[in-house]
Structure 1
Amino acid sequence: MDLNKQIQKLETIRNDNSNKVFTMYLNTDLSDPEQQGGEWKIHLKNGLRNFEQYLKEDDDKEELKNFQAVKEKVERFVVGNEQKFLKGIVLFATADEEVWFATRVQIPLETAFNWQETPHLEQLKQLSVDYPKTGIILIQQNEVKVIDSYLNEIEDTFSYELDLDTDDWREKTTTDTGSGSTNQHTEKFEDRVEANQQRWYKKIAPKLDKQAKDKSWENIYVIGESDPANELKEQMNKPVNEVIQKNMLDHEESKVLQEVFG
C-alpha cells in the first residue's frame, strides 16, 4: 500500500449532495489500557448510532439511506477482520462505493468518526509522516541484517554475511546456518577487524545504497555497536537519519521497530 498515493486520491473527493463521505479512525489496540475490555466495540456502536440518529431527526431520507448503506459495509468489514486486528482501522466510504478504502494498521490511532462532504485526512497524513518507508540496518561483527518497514510493519527482511575467505559479502538464504557465529570465525574476524573494517564496510555500502533506492526509503537507521555502525554510516552515500548504538541483530524484529519508532 502506497499511503501517499491513497491520500492524493482521497484529497480529490468532494460530495456536496446526500452521498457524503464516512471517515473512521478506530483504536483497536488491545495493549492499550483503555481497550482491555473491548471498548472499541462500544465506540464503534455509539459512533455509528449517533450519525444515524441525527439523520433520522433531520428527516433527510436520502442521506439516511446512504448512511445506513455505509454503516452496513463498515460493520461487515470490522466483523470480518476482528480476528486479525492490529492496533487500528482506517476507513473511508461512500454509499455508491466511489470511495472505499479500509485497512488495518499497526499504529495507535485516536478514535474518530466523520460524515461530511470530504474525507478527514489529518490522522492519515500524520501516519505517512511518522511512519514512512524506512530501512533499518543492523550490524554485528561480520553480519548485516536489513529490515524494510512501512507504517510500522515489516515489509521484508534480508541479511548479508562476510565471507572471510573471499573478503566479500554474500546475501544469506534461509538455509544458511550462520557460520559466522562459530568461535573459529569470530576469532578470525576479531583478529582482522581493526585493519579491515573500513574496507569491508565500503564493500557492503553500495549494496545497501541500492536497496535504499529500490525500496524508496525515506528514512534510514543503523543499529549496532559504535565503531561498526558509525563506519558503515560513513561509507554509505544515502543519508542516515540516526545511529543507534545497541547490539540488536538477534533481537525480535518487533522489538527493533519499537526501538526505532517508540
Structure 2
Amino acid sequence: MRNIKKEMKKLASVYVEKPHRVFSMYLNTDPSDPDQQGREWKIHLKNGLNSFENYLKEDGNREEKRNFKMVREMVENYIREHELNLSKSIVIFATADQKVWFAERFQMPVVTEFSWEETAKIDQLKKMYHQFPKTGIILTQKESIKVMDAELGTLKDTNVFELDLDTEDWKEHTGPSHNQLSMGSGGRSTKQDEFQERFEANRYRWYKRVAPKLDKLAKDKQWESIYLVGDKQEAEDLKSHMNKVITDIINKNMLDHEEKQVIDTVMA
C-alpha cells in the first residue's frame, strides 16, 4: 500500500485546466451497510458516471468529453478487477493522461460522491487519515507479541516476537506461533501453572528487553498512533518500558484473532 500522507500532498497540489479535469470518487461498498445489501454501489457508480457524461454531451466540449471517457474506462476496469475483493470503500483520483492515478480499497466507510473538477477533492481522504493515520497495534499475550502496521483501516505488515524461554531472548519471525506448550493431557495443567508462575515473576524484566525492538519498529514505520492490546497489566508493563507515546490500551486478548477484527476493535 502506498504512503497515503505523501499521496495526499501530491493530490493537494494538482491543478488542471480545460479540457483536462481531475476525477474524484468516493464509493461506499460496505457489505455491512444496510443500504448496500443489494450491492447498490453498482447503481450509484453507474449513475454518477452517467451524470458527468450526459453533462459533457450537452456542454459540447469534445476533448473534455473524450478525456472523461478515458477516465471512465480506467475506473471501470479497476472496479472489474477488484469487484470480488472489496472492502468498505473505494477511493479514486484520476486524469486522462494518468499523471494522476490513485486507486485504493479501504476498510473505512465513506460517503459516496463524485467530482470532475480542476482539483482533486481530498477532503474525505484527509478526514479518514485523521481518524486512522499510520498506526501500530501491539498485541501482547504472555511470551508472544504480534505487531500490526496499519493505515486507514488497512493492514500493511505484521511482525511477531516470541520469547525463547531457554535464552530469554525475544526472536522475531513470521508464521504461526512456535512457543505453544505441548504436552500430554496429564501434564498440561502442571506445566501451564509452572509457566504462569515463571512468567509473572519475570514479566517486567522480559518486557523491558523487547521494548527497544518495538520502539525501533515505531520509528521505522513512522507510526503516529500506537495501541497496546492485551491483558491490562501486561500492556501497562510494556508501556512503562517504551519510549514512544502510547495512544491507548485495549484490555482484550486478541493475539489469535483475525487482523480485520483487531483493526475494527481499535477503530471502534
Q: 1:41 to 1:23 in 2, by over 3 A?
A: same
Partner amino acid for 1:155? K
Is residue 101 of structure 2 the alignment partner of residue 100 of structure 1?
Answer: yes
Contact 1:179/1:185, CA 8 A, preserved across alignment: no
Is residue 138 of structure 2 the alignment partner of residue 127 of structure 1?
Answer: no
Runs of 5+ in structure 2 lacking a partner?
Answer: none
Contact 1:212/1:238, CA 8 A, preserved across alignment: yes
How far apart are residue 181 of structure 1 and its match?
6.6
Runs of 5+ in structure 1 lacking a partner?
Answer: none
Q: 1:187 to 1:22 in 2, by over 3 A?
A: same
Mapped to 2, the partners of 1:224 and 1:161 lie a distance apart of 15
Is residue 12 of structure 2 the alignment partner of residue 11 of structure 1?
Answer: yes
Q: Name which of 185, 210, 223 aligns with 1:217.
A: 223
Mapped to 2, the partners of 1:195 and 1:83 lie a distance apart of 50
Structure-1 residue corresponding to 2:253: 247
3-state SS of paired residue (2:254): coil
More displaced stretch, 12-21 vs 61-70 = 61-70
RMSD: 1.9
3-state SS of paired residue (1:96): coil
Mapped to 2, the partners of 1:228 and 1:175 lie a distance apart of 21
Runs of 4+ in 1 over 4 A off after TM superposition: none
More displaced stretch, 39-48 vs 81-90 = 81-90
Structure-1 residue corresponding to 2:233: 227
Q: 1:48 to 1:219 in 2, by over 3 A?
A: same
Q: 1:53 to 1:89 in 2, by over 3 A?
A: same
Mapped to 2, the partners of 1:91 and 1:166 lie a distance apart of 50
3-state SS of paired residue (1:177): coil
How far apart are residue 164 of structure 1 and its match?
2.5
Partner amino acid for 2:158? T
TM-score of the two chains, using structure 2 as the length reference = 0.90
Structure-1 residue corresponding to 2:70: 69
Is residue 95 of structure 2 the alignment partner of residue 89 of structure 1?
Answer: no
Q: CA deviation digits over 1:56-77, x for unaligned, max 9?
A: 2222233222222222222222
3-state SS of paired residue (1:221): strand
Structure-2 residue corresponding to 1:80: 81
Structure-2 residue corresponding to 1:43: 44
How far apart are residue 173 of structure 1 and its match?
4.5
Q: What is the percent sequence identity of the aligned residues?
A: 50
Mapped to 1, the partners of 2:33 and 2:262 lie a distance apart of 20
3-state SS of paired residue (2:246): coil
Structure-2 residue corresponding to 1:30: 31
Mapped to 2, the partners of 1:39 and 1:165 lie a distance apart of 57
TM-score of the two chains, using structure 1 as the length reference = 0.92
Partner amino acid for 1:257? I
Mapped to 1, the partners of 2:139 and 2:65 lie a distance apart of 53
Mapped to 1, the partners of 2:212 and 2:81 lie a distance apart of 44
Q: 1:213 to 1:75 in 2, by over 3 A?
A: same
More displaced stretch, 177-186 vs 202-211 = 177-186
Is residue 159 of structure 2 the alignment partner of residue 151 of structure 1?
Answer: no
Mapped to 1, the partners of 2:3 and 2:100 lie a distance apart of 16
Structure-1 residue corresponding to 2:243: 237
More displaced stretch, 248-257 vs 225-234 = 248-257
